[in-house]
Chain A
Amino acid sequence: MMATATEALGRVLVVDDSVLNRRLLQRALGTEGYDAMLAEDGEQALNVLRSSVPPPFDIVLLDILMPNLDGYETLTTIKTDPALRHLPVIMITAVDETESAVRCIELGATDYLPKPFNVAVLRARIGASLAAKRLRDLELEYLEQVGRVTEAATAVEAGTFAIAGLDSVAARTDALGSLARVFQRMATEVRAREERLQQKVRELQIVIDEERQAKKVAEITESDYFQRLRRQAADLRRIME
C-alpha cells in the first residue's frame, strides 16, 4: 500500500528504465512509508524535478545505464543546477558496477544502492540521506532567517522596518527567535518613542504658531500707522455723534 503524500516519510523519485526495478522499488518504498514517483529515463526525471520550485522530491534514486539521458548525464545536470544541486541522489548500481558507483559519488551522488536491492540497505541509505538533507534544509532556513534579521536592522536605520516581517523568525523557539523578538520589541519601543516625540513637536509647533500670530497682531496694533488709524476712527466717531 502506498503512503499518501501527507503521511509519507518523504517523496522519492525512482529513475530506472527497467519496469521491473521501478515497480519493485516503488513497492518497497511504499511499504517503508515513502511516496514514490517513477521516471523511465533521465529526461523524464529532469522534467519532473523542474516542474516546481523547490523540486517536489526529497531524494532521487537513479539508475546509471539508461536510454536518452543516462545516469551520469542526469546526475551532472542535477549537480550543476542551483535549484536541484542540494537534492540527494542515490545511484542504483549492479554489483559489478562498483567503479561506476565510485565515479558517481565523485560527481556528487550521495550514496549507491546495489541491485538486486536489499530492503534493509534501501531503508538505511534512504534514511541516512534524508536525515542529511533535512539537516541541510534546516541550516539553509536558519541562514535565510539570520539574513532577514540583518535586513531588518538595515530597514530600521532606513526607517522602513515592518515589524510583522520578522514574525516567522520570532516564532522560533531558539536563540535566533529570542533575538528576533527582542528586536521587534525594541523596534516597537523606538517607534512609540518616535511617535511621542513627533506629537510633542506638533504641539510645540502649535504653541510657536500661536505666539507668532500674537506677535504679528501686536506688531500691527502697536505700529504708528495703526495708532494713527485708531485715533482717526475715534475722531470720526465723535464727529458722527
Chain B
Amino acid sequence: MTDNGVIDRSALDALMETTGGDPDFFVEMIDVFLADALELLGAMDGALAGGDAGALRRAAHTFKSNSRTFGASALADLCQEIEGRAATGTTDGLAPLVAQVIAGYPGVATALRAERPVA
C-alpha cells in the first residue's frame, strides 16, 4: 500500500507495466484520472439529486473501473455497490454511499499526486 494506505501499490506496478514503463505516460494517466474523477463525482452527485438511476449507475461504473486501475480498492468497492443498487432503477438510499465516495476521494488524490515525480 501507499503511505496513506488508500492505494494498492501492486496495482500501480501493474499499471506501470501496462504503460510500457513510460513514466511520462504514467503521470499523464494520473492526471487523466484526477480530471475525470472530479467530473464523475459531479455526475454521481447530480444524478443522485435528480433521481437519475441510469446516470448514477454509469458514473459509478466508470469511477469504479478507474479506481480499480489505480488500486483505490475501497473507492472501487463503494462504487460497485452504488452501481449494483442503481441498476435496480432507483437511487433511494444511495446518498450515504455517494457521500462516502466523495469523502474518500481526496485521500486517493493525495496519494496519487505523491506518485508524481517532484518537478
Contact = CB atoms under 8 A, between A and B. Distances in A.
A18 B68 CA distance: 13
A128 interface: no
A20 B66 contact: yes
Given A23-B29, A27-B18, A119-B18, A65 B69 contact: no
B61 A65 contact: yes
B68 A115 contact: yes
Contact of B62 (A18, A23, A117, A119): A18
Size category of the binding interface on chain A: 20 to 34
Interface in A79-132: 94-96, 115-119
Interface residues of B, number: 24
B11 interface: yes
A220 interface: no
Given A65-B58, A115-B69, A20 B18 contact: no
B25 to A, nearest CB: 6
19 contacts: A17-B58, A18-B62, A18-B65, A19-B36, A20-B29, A24-B18, A24-B29, A27-B18, A28-B19, A31-B20, A65-B61, A95-B68, A115-B68, A116-B11, A116-B14, A116-B15, A116-B18, A116-B68, A119-B18
Interface of B: 11, 14-15, 17-20, 22, 25, 28-29, 32-33, 36, 57-58, 61-62, 64-66, 68-69, 80
Interface of A: 17-21, 23-24, 27-28, 31, 65-67, 94-96, 115-119
